[in-house]
Amino acid sequence: MISRYSLPEMAELWSDQARYSTWAEVEVLASAAQARLGRVPEEALADIRRARVPAAARVAELERERDHEILAFLAAFCEDVPDDSARWVHLGMTSYDLVDTALGHTLARACDVLLAAVERLRGVLVDKAFEHWETVCIGRTHGMHAEPTTFGHKLAGFAFAIDRCVRRLRAAREEVAVGTISGSVGTYALIDPFVEEYVCAELGLGVEPAPSQVVARDRHAQLLQAIATLGACAEQIATEVRLLSRSEVREVEEGRTARYQGSSAMPHKRNPTTSERLAGLARLLRGYAGTVLENVALWHERDLAHSSVERVALPDALIVAHYQAVSTADLVAAMEVSADRMRAAIDQTRGLAHSSAVLADLLESGTERERAYRAVQAAANGVLAGGGDFSTLLRAEGIDIDPLRPERFLVHHDVVFKRLEALREMGR
Protein backbone atom coordinates (compact mmCIF):
# COMPACT_ATOMS: atom_id res chain seq x y z
CA MET A 1 0.00 0.00 0.00
CA ILE A 2 1.24 3.49 -0.81
CA SER A 3 2.52 5.50 2.15
CA ARG A 4 -0.35 8.00 1.85
CA TYR A 5 -2.80 5.47 3.28
CA SER A 6 -0.39 3.67 5.63
CA LEU A 7 0.21 4.24 9.33
CA PRO A 8 3.53 2.99 10.71
CA GLU A 9 2.24 0.70 13.46
CA MET A 10 0.46 -1.45 10.88
CA ALA A 11 2.72 -0.98 7.85
CA GLU A 12 5.83 -2.05 9.78
CA LEU A 13 4.33 -5.50 10.37
CA TRP A 14 4.28 -6.12 6.62
CA SER A 15 7.77 -5.01 5.63
CA ASP A 16 10.14 -7.54 4.07
CA GLN A 17 12.46 -7.24 7.04
CA ALA A 18 9.62 -7.90 9.50
CA ARG A 19 8.62 -10.98 7.50
CA TYR A 20 12.16 -12.38 7.60
CA SER A 21 12.37 -11.66 11.31
CA THR A 22 9.23 -13.74 11.88
CA TRP A 23 10.53 -16.51 9.61
CA ALA A 24 13.74 -16.63 11.64
CA GLU A 25 11.71 -16.85 14.85
CA VAL A 26 9.75 -19.82 13.47
CA GLU A 27 12.94 -21.60 12.37
CA VAL A 28 14.57 -21.13 15.77
CA LEU A 29 11.46 -22.39 17.58
CA ALA A 30 11.22 -25.40 15.27
CA SER A 31 14.88 -26.25 15.95
CA ALA A 32 14.25 -25.86 19.69
CA ALA A 33 11.37 -28.33 19.47
CA GLN A 34 13.51 -30.76 17.49
CA ALA A 35 16.22 -30.43 20.14
CA ARG A 36 13.69 -31.40 22.81
CA LEU A 37 12.95 -34.49 20.76
CA GLY A 38 16.67 -35.26 20.57
CA ARG A 39 16.84 -34.76 16.81
CA VAL A 40 18.93 -31.55 16.83
CA PRO A 41 22.11 -31.32 18.95
CA GLU A 42 22.09 -28.68 21.67
CA GLU A 43 25.31 -27.18 20.26
CA ALA A 44 23.63 -26.73 16.87
CA LEU A 45 20.57 -25.15 18.52
CA ALA A 46 22.83 -22.65 20.28
CA ASP A 47 24.40 -21.69 16.94
CA ILE A 48 20.97 -21.36 15.30
CA ARG A 49 19.73 -19.16 18.15
CA ARG A 50 22.74 -16.84 17.67
CA ALA A 51 22.11 -16.36 13.94
CA ARG A 52 21.11 -12.89 12.84
CA VAL A 53 18.00 -12.18 10.79
CA PRO A 54 19.24 -11.84 7.22
CA ALA A 55 18.93 -8.47 5.54
CA ALA A 56 16.11 -8.16 3.05
CA ALA A 57 18.57 -7.01 0.40
CA ARG A 58 20.63 -10.18 0.80
CA VAL A 59 17.55 -12.41 0.52
CA ALA A 60 16.52 -10.54 -2.62
CA GLU A 61 19.99 -11.01 -4.09
CA LEU A 62 19.88 -14.77 -3.51
CA GLU A 63 16.30 -15.03 -4.77
CA ARG A 64 17.35 -13.56 -8.11
CA GLU A 65 19.70 -16.54 -8.49
CA ARG A 66 17.38 -19.26 -7.14
CA ASP A 67 13.89 -18.00 -8.04
CA HIS A 68 12.66 -19.27 -4.64
CA GLU A 69 12.25 -16.84 -1.76
CA ILE A 70 12.15 -19.41 1.04
CA LEU A 71 15.33 -21.17 -0.14
CA ALA A 72 16.96 -17.76 -0.58
CA PHE A 73 16.00 -16.84 2.98
CA LEU A 74 17.32 -20.14 4.36
CA ALA A 75 20.59 -19.70 2.49
CA ALA A 76 20.98 -16.17 3.82
CA PHE A 77 20.02 -17.25 7.35
CA CYS A 78 22.50 -20.13 7.32
CA GLU A 79 25.36 -17.84 6.22
CA ASP A 80 25.46 -16.86 9.87
CA VAL A 81 25.38 -20.46 11.15
CA PRO A 82 28.41 -22.87 11.13
CA ASP A 83 28.07 -25.59 8.49
CA ASP A 84 27.81 -28.43 11.01
CA SER A 85 24.86 -26.68 12.65
CA ALA A 86 23.23 -25.23 9.52
CA ARG A 87 22.29 -28.70 8.27
CA TRP A 88 19.74 -28.94 11.10
CA VAL A 89 17.85 -25.79 10.08
CA HIS A 90 14.38 -26.43 8.60
CA LEU A 91 14.62 -30.14 9.47
CA GLY A 92 11.63 -32.10 8.16
CA MET A 93 9.81 -28.91 7.13
CA THR A 94 8.40 -27.75 3.83
CA SER A 95 8.31 -24.15 2.67
CA TYR A 96 4.77 -23.33 3.76
CA ASP A 97 5.32 -24.76 7.23
CA LEU A 98 7.49 -21.69 7.59
CA VAL A 99 5.43 -19.26 5.53
CA ASP A 100 1.95 -20.04 6.86
CA THR A 101 2.94 -20.32 10.50
CA ALA A 102 4.74 -16.98 10.28
CA LEU A 103 1.77 -15.53 8.40
CA GLY A 104 -0.62 -16.65 11.14
CA HIS A 105 1.54 -14.86 13.70
CA THR A 106 1.67 -11.68 11.61
CA LEU A 107 -2.07 -11.74 10.94
CA ALA A 108 -2.80 -12.11 14.64
CA ARG A 109 -0.63 -9.10 15.45
CA ALA A 110 -2.15 -7.10 12.60
CA CYS A 111 -5.66 -7.94 13.80
CA ASP A 112 -4.73 -6.70 17.28
CA VAL A 113 -3.56 -3.37 15.86
CA LEU A 114 -6.72 -3.07 13.76
CA LEU A 115 -8.99 -4.03 16.65
CA ALA A 116 -7.46 -1.33 18.86
CA ALA A 117 -8.27 1.27 16.19
CA VAL A 118 -11.81 -0.03 15.68
CA GLU A 119 -12.48 -0.12 19.42
CA ARG A 120 -11.32 3.49 19.61
CA LEU A 121 -13.74 4.37 16.78
CA ARG A 122 -16.55 2.68 18.68
CA GLY A 123 -15.67 4.70 21.79
CA VAL A 124 -15.56 8.00 19.89
CA LEU A 125 -18.98 7.30 18.38
CA VAL A 126 -20.46 6.43 21.77
CA ASP A 127 -19.06 9.60 23.35
CA LYS A 128 -20.30 11.76 20.50
CA ALA A 129 -23.72 10.09 20.66
CA PHE A 130 -24.06 11.02 24.33
CA GLU A 131 -22.86 14.54 23.61
CA HIS A 132 -25.62 15.03 21.04
CA TRP A 133 -28.30 12.85 22.56
CA GLU A 134 -30.69 15.82 22.84
CA THR A 135 -29.59 17.53 19.61
CA VAL A 136 -32.85 17.32 17.68
CA CYS A 137 -32.59 16.93 13.92
CA ILE A 138 -34.80 15.88 11.04
CA GLY A 139 -34.69 12.23 10.12
CA ARG A 140 -34.62 11.50 6.41
CA THR A 141 -35.84 8.50 4.46
CA HIS A 142 -35.26 8.21 0.71
CA GLY A 143 -33.30 11.44 1.14
CA MET A 144 -36.52 13.29 2.06
CA HIS A 145 -37.63 14.88 5.33
CA ALA A 146 -39.32 12.28 7.52
CA GLU A 147 -39.74 12.74 11.30
CA PRO A 148 -37.65 14.27 14.06
CA THR A 149 -34.88 12.25 15.68
CA THR A 150 -31.69 13.30 17.42
CA PHE A 151 -28.17 13.39 16.11
CA GLY A 152 -27.11 11.31 19.08
CA HIS A 153 -29.58 8.59 18.12
CA LYS A 154 -28.15 8.59 14.61
CA LEU A 155 -24.60 8.23 15.96
CA ALA A 156 -25.73 5.46 18.30
CA GLY A 157 -26.74 3.40 15.27
CA PHE A 158 -23.25 3.82 13.87
CA ALA A 159 -21.69 2.88 17.23
CA PHE A 160 -23.60 -0.39 17.37
CA ALA A 161 -22.61 -1.16 13.77
CA ILE A 162 -18.94 -0.70 14.67
CA ASP A 163 -19.44 -2.86 17.75
CA ARG A 164 -20.64 -5.65 15.48
CA CYS A 165 -17.51 -5.11 13.39
CA VAL A 166 -15.39 -5.58 16.51
CA ARG A 167 -17.06 -8.91 17.21
CA ARG A 168 -16.64 -10.07 13.61
CA LEU A 169 -12.96 -9.11 13.65
CA ARG A 170 -12.35 -10.94 16.92
CA ALA A 171 -13.89 -14.08 15.47
CA ALA A 172 -11.83 -13.72 12.29
CA ARG A 173 -8.65 -13.18 14.30
CA GLU A 174 -9.20 -16.49 16.04
CA GLU A 175 -9.58 -18.24 12.69
CA VAL A 176 -6.43 -16.78 11.08
CA ALA A 177 -4.21 -17.12 14.16
CA VAL A 178 -3.19 -20.67 13.26
CA GLY A 179 -0.11 -22.39 11.91
CA THR A 180 0.98 -25.74 10.58
CA ILE A 181 4.31 -27.56 10.65
CA SER A 182 3.28 -30.87 9.14
CA GLY A 183 5.65 -31.41 6.22
CA SER A 184 4.87 -32.17 2.61
CA VAL A 185 1.13 -32.63 1.93
CA GLY A 186 0.51 -32.24 5.66
CA THR A 187 1.02 -35.89 6.71
CA TYR A 188 3.72 -35.37 9.41
CA ALA A 189 5.66 -38.14 7.65
CA LEU A 190 9.05 -36.52 8.32
CA ILE A 191 8.27 -34.33 11.32
CA ASP A 192 6.86 -35.06 14.74
CA PRO A 193 3.57 -33.25 15.52
CA PHE A 194 5.23 -32.05 18.73
CA VAL A 195 7.21 -29.54 16.66
CA GLU A 196 4.00 -27.99 15.40
CA GLU A 197 2.44 -27.95 18.86
CA TYR A 198 5.51 -26.38 20.41
CA VAL A 199 6.05 -23.68 17.79
CA CYS A 200 2.39 -22.68 17.57
CA ALA A 201 2.04 -22.57 21.36
CA GLU A 202 5.11 -20.33 21.65
CA LEU A 203 3.64 -17.98 19.03
CA GLY A 204 0.17 -18.00 20.57
CA LEU A 205 -1.35 -19.77 17.57
CA GLY A 206 -3.83 -22.56 17.09
CA VAL A 207 -3.08 -25.53 14.85
CA GLU A 208 -4.67 -26.36 11.50
CA PRO A 209 -6.51 -29.59 12.41
CA ALA A 210 -6.14 -31.37 9.06
CA PRO A 211 -3.40 -29.57 7.15
CA SER A 212 -2.90 -30.08 3.43
CA GLN A 213 0.63 -28.63 3.62
CA VAL A 214 -0.93 -25.17 3.94
CA VAL A 215 -3.36 -23.39 6.22
CA ALA A 216 -6.87 -23.40 4.75
CA ARG A 217 -7.54 -20.20 2.83
CA ASP A 218 -11.18 -19.83 3.91
CA ARG A 219 -9.67 -18.43 7.11
CA HIS A 220 -8.17 -15.47 5.28
CA ALA A 221 -11.37 -15.02 3.28
CA GLN A 222 -13.33 -14.71 6.55
CA LEU A 223 -10.95 -12.02 7.80
CA LEU A 224 -11.14 -9.96 4.62
CA GLN A 225 -14.93 -10.20 4.55
CA ALA A 226 -14.99 -8.86 8.12
CA ILE A 227 -12.64 -6.08 7.02
CA ALA A 228 -14.82 -5.29 3.99
CA THR A 229 -17.86 -5.04 6.26
CA LEU A 230 -15.92 -2.72 8.55
CA GLY A 231 -15.07 -0.62 5.52
CA ALA A 232 -18.73 -0.44 4.52
CA CYS A 233 -19.73 0.67 8.03
CA ALA A 234 -17.07 3.37 7.99
CA GLU A 235 -18.34 4.37 4.56
CA GLN A 236 -21.85 4.70 5.99
CA ILE A 237 -20.56 7.18 8.58
CA ALA A 238 -18.58 9.07 5.95
CA THR A 239 -21.56 9.18 3.59
CA GLU A 240 -23.77 10.67 6.31
CA VAL A 241 -21.18 13.37 6.95
CA ARG A 242 -20.96 14.08 3.21
CA LEU A 243 -24.73 14.39 2.85
CA LEU A 244 -25.11 16.62 5.90
CA SER A 245 -22.20 18.82 4.72
CA ARG A 246 -23.87 19.88 1.46
CA SER A 247 -24.20 23.63 0.99
CA GLU A 248 -28.00 23.58 1.24
CA VAL A 249 -27.88 21.47 4.43
CA ARG A 250 -24.72 22.39 6.40
CA GLU A 251 -25.80 20.57 9.56
CA VAL A 252 -22.38 18.92 9.94
CA GLU A 253 -18.93 19.94 8.79
CA GLU A 254 -15.58 18.22 8.93
CA GLY A 255 -13.21 19.75 11.46
CA ARG A 256 -10.76 22.08 9.76
CA THR A 257 -7.62 23.97 10.72
CA ALA A 258 -7.31 27.71 10.24
CA ARG A 259 -4.98 27.03 7.28
CA TYR A 260 -7.51 24.83 5.45
CA GLN A 261 -7.92 25.33 1.69
CA GLY A 262 -10.71 23.48 -0.11
CA SER A 263 -10.27 24.33 -3.76
CA SER A 264 -7.47 25.60 -5.96
CA ALA A 265 -9.94 27.73 -7.92
CA MET A 266 -12.81 28.55 -5.52
CA PRO A 267 -11.66 29.93 -2.16
CA HIS A 268 -15.14 29.61 -0.65
CA LYS A 269 -15.23 25.81 -0.93
CA ARG A 270 -15.25 23.63 2.20
CA ASN A 271 -15.30 20.16 0.71
CA PRO A 272 -15.86 16.95 2.75
CA THR A 273 -12.67 15.45 1.35
CA THR A 274 -11.87 13.25 4.34
CA SER A 275 -15.30 11.61 4.13
CA GLU A 276 -14.92 11.16 0.40
CA ARG A 277 -11.54 9.51 0.90
CA LEU A 278 -12.96 7.10 3.47
CA ALA A 279 -15.82 6.19 1.14
CA GLY A 280 -13.38 5.50 -1.66
CA LEU A 281 -11.17 3.26 0.46
CA ALA A 282 -14.18 1.07 1.26
CA ARG A 283 -14.28 0.13 -2.42
CA LEU A 284 -10.73 -1.21 -2.18
CA LEU A 285 -11.62 -3.34 0.82
CA ARG A 286 -14.58 -4.90 -0.97
CA GLY A 287 -12.31 -5.69 -3.90
CA TYR A 288 -9.71 -7.38 -1.69
CA ALA A 289 -12.43 -9.52 -0.05
CA GLY A 290 -13.60 -10.81 -3.43
CA THR A 291 -10.05 -11.47 -4.56
CA VAL A 292 -9.12 -13.53 -1.50
CA LEU A 293 -12.26 -15.63 -1.87
CA GLU A 294 -10.68 -16.85 -5.11
CA ASN A 295 -7.83 -18.34 -3.04
CA VAL A 296 -10.01 -20.78 -1.13
CA ALA A 297 -10.18 -23.43 -3.87
CA LEU A 298 -6.61 -24.64 -4.35
CA TRP A 299 -5.62 -27.55 -6.59
CA HIS A 300 -5.48 -30.83 -4.65
CA GLU A 301 -3.36 -30.42 -1.50
CA ARG A 302 -2.08 -27.01 -2.59
CA ASP A 303 -0.91 -24.86 -5.45
CA LEU A 304 0.82 -21.50 -5.51
CA ALA A 305 -1.79 -19.36 -7.28
CA HIS A 306 -2.81 -17.84 -3.95
CA SER A 307 0.67 -16.57 -3.09
CA SER A 308 0.89 -13.59 -5.42
CA VAL A 309 -2.64 -12.53 -4.43
CA GLU A 310 -1.91 -12.69 -0.71
CA ARG A 311 1.32 -10.73 -1.00
CA VAL A 312 -0.78 -7.78 -2.13
CA ALA A 313 -4.27 -8.30 -0.73
CA LEU A 314 -3.55 -9.26 2.89
CA PRO A 315 -1.16 -6.43 3.80
CA ASP A 316 -3.00 -3.87 1.70
CA ALA A 317 -6.40 -4.73 3.19
CA LEU A 318 -5.16 -4.57 6.76
CA ILE A 319 -3.16 -1.38 6.17
CA VAL A 320 -6.10 0.33 4.45
CA ALA A 321 -8.61 -0.85 7.05
CA HIS A 322 -6.40 0.43 9.86
CA TYR A 323 -5.93 3.80 8.15
CA GLN A 324 -9.67 4.04 7.52
CA ALA A 325 -10.61 3.16 11.11
CA VAL A 326 -8.16 5.68 12.58
CA SER A 327 -9.24 8.39 10.14
CA THR A 328 -12.95 7.75 10.75
CA ALA A 329 -12.44 8.10 14.50
CA ASP A 330 -10.56 11.36 13.93
CA LEU A 331 -13.32 12.58 11.61
CA VAL A 332 -16.08 11.91 14.14
CA ALA A 333 -14.11 13.37 17.05
CA ALA A 334 -13.40 16.64 15.20
CA MET A 335 -16.62 17.18 13.23
CA GLU A 336 -18.57 20.35 13.86
CA VAL A 337 -22.31 19.98 14.48
CA SER A 338 -24.75 22.85 13.88
CA ALA A 339 -27.66 22.27 16.27
CA ASP A 340 -29.29 25.51 15.06
CA ARG A 341 -29.38 24.39 11.44
CA MET A 342 -30.69 21.00 12.48
CA ARG A 343 -33.53 22.67 14.37
CA ALA A 344 -34.15 25.03 11.44
CA ALA A 345 -34.51 22.07 9.07
CA ILE A 346 -37.40 20.81 11.19
CA ASP A 347 -38.97 24.26 11.31
CA GLN A 348 -38.67 24.57 7.54
CA THR A 349 -41.12 21.71 7.12
CA ARG A 350 -43.81 24.06 8.57
CA GLY A 351 -45.16 21.19 10.61
CA LEU A 352 -44.99 18.44 7.98
CA ALA A 353 -42.47 16.47 10.04
CA HIS A 354 -45.34 15.72 12.42
CA SER A 355 -47.87 14.40 9.89
CA SER A 356 -47.71 10.84 11.21
CA ALA A 357 -48.66 12.02 14.72
CA VAL A 358 -51.70 13.80 13.30
CA LEU A 359 -52.67 10.67 11.39
CA ALA A 360 -52.27 8.55 14.54
CA ASP A 361 -54.51 10.97 16.50
CA LEU A 362 -57.21 10.78 13.86
CA LEU A 363 -57.12 6.99 13.83
CA GLU A 364 -57.29 6.83 17.61
CA SER A 365 -60.31 9.16 17.56
CA GLY A 366 -62.17 6.72 15.29
CA THR A 367 -61.67 8.24 11.84
CA GLU A 368 -61.63 5.66 9.01
CA ARG A 369 -58.02 5.12 7.84
CA GLU A 370 -58.34 6.06 4.15
CA ARG A 371 -60.31 9.19 4.98
CA ALA A 372 -57.83 10.20 7.68
CA TYR A 373 -54.81 9.59 5.46
CA ARG A 374 -56.26 11.52 2.52
CA ALA A 375 -57.23 14.48 4.68
CA VAL A 376 -53.76 14.76 6.23
CA GLN A 377 -52.15 14.27 2.83
CA ALA A 378 -54.29 17.04 1.31
CA ALA A 379 -53.14 19.45 4.01
CA ALA A 380 -49.52 18.38 3.51
CA ASN A 381 -49.76 18.87 -0.25
CA GLY A 382 -51.09 22.37 0.39
CA VAL A 383 -48.01 23.18 2.47
CA LEU A 384 -45.71 21.86 -0.25
CA ALA A 385 -47.56 23.98 -2.80
CA GLY A 386 -46.86 27.10 -0.73
CA GLY A 387 -50.32 27.43 0.74
CA GLY A 388 -49.34 28.03 4.35
CA ASP A 389 -48.39 26.15 7.48
CA PHE A 390 -49.57 22.65 8.33
CA SER A 391 -51.79 23.66 11.28
CA THR A 392 -53.78 26.13 9.20
CA LEU A 393 -54.32 23.73 6.34
CA LEU A 394 -55.29 20.92 8.70
CA ARG A 395 -58.04 23.11 10.07
CA ALA A 396 -59.18 23.78 6.51
CA GLU A 397 -59.59 20.00 6.18
CA GLY A 398 -61.66 19.96 9.37
CA ILE A 399 -58.85 18.59 11.52
CA ASP A 400 -58.44 20.50 14.79
CA ILE A 401 -55.20 18.90 16.01
CA ASP A 402 -52.01 20.72 16.94
CA PRO A 403 -49.24 18.90 15.05
CA LEU A 404 -46.44 20.57 16.99
CA ARG A 405 -46.86 18.99 20.41
CA PRO A 406 -43.26 18.05 21.31
CA GLU A 407 -44.31 15.50 23.92
CA ARG A 408 -45.47 13.21 21.11
CA PHE A 409 -41.93 12.62 19.90
CA LEU A 410 -39.04 10.59 21.25
CA VAL A 411 -41.29 9.22 24.01
CA HIS A 412 -39.41 5.92 24.22
CA HIS A 413 -36.09 7.44 23.16
CA ASP A 414 -34.64 6.43 26.53
CA VAL A 415 -34.62 2.72 25.65
CA VAL A 416 -31.88 3.33 23.08
CA PHE A 417 -30.06 5.53 25.59
CA LYS A 418 -29.92 2.63 28.05
CA ARG A 419 -28.61 0.29 25.36
CA LEU A 420 -25.94 2.85 24.52
CA GLU A 421 -24.95 3.08 28.18
CA ALA A 422 -24.52 -0.70 28.24
CA LEU A 423 -22.32 -0.51 25.14
CA ARG A 424 -20.16 2.14 26.78
CA GLU A 425 -19.71 0.03 29.91
CA MET A 426 -18.83 -3.02 27.82
CA GLY A 427 -16.16 -1.05 25.97
CA ARG A 428 -14.43 0.08 29.13
Positions annotated as catalytic residues are 142, 263
Q: Which residues of 36-60 are buried (b: 16+ CB within 10 A; e: fewer)?
A: eeeebeeebbebbeebebbebebbe
Handedness of CA 13, 15, 17, 22 (dihedral sign): positive
Q: Compute CA distances 363 → 95, 355, 372, whole Å.
A: 73, 12, 7
Measured CA to CA, the distance from residue 111 to residue 7 in angstroms comes to 14
Report how many helices (DSSP H) and strands (DSSP E) the chain contains, helices first. Answer: 17, 6
Q: Are strands 178-179 and 206-207 parallel, antiparallel or unpaired?
A: parallel
Q: Which residues of 15-28 are buried (b: 16+ CB within 10 A; e: fewer)?
A: eeebbbebbbbbbb
Q: Where does 128-285 show beta strands of DSSP type E?
A: 136-141, 144-150, 178-179, 206-207, 252-253
Are 140 and 89 spatial neighbours (Cβ–Cβ below 8 Å)? no
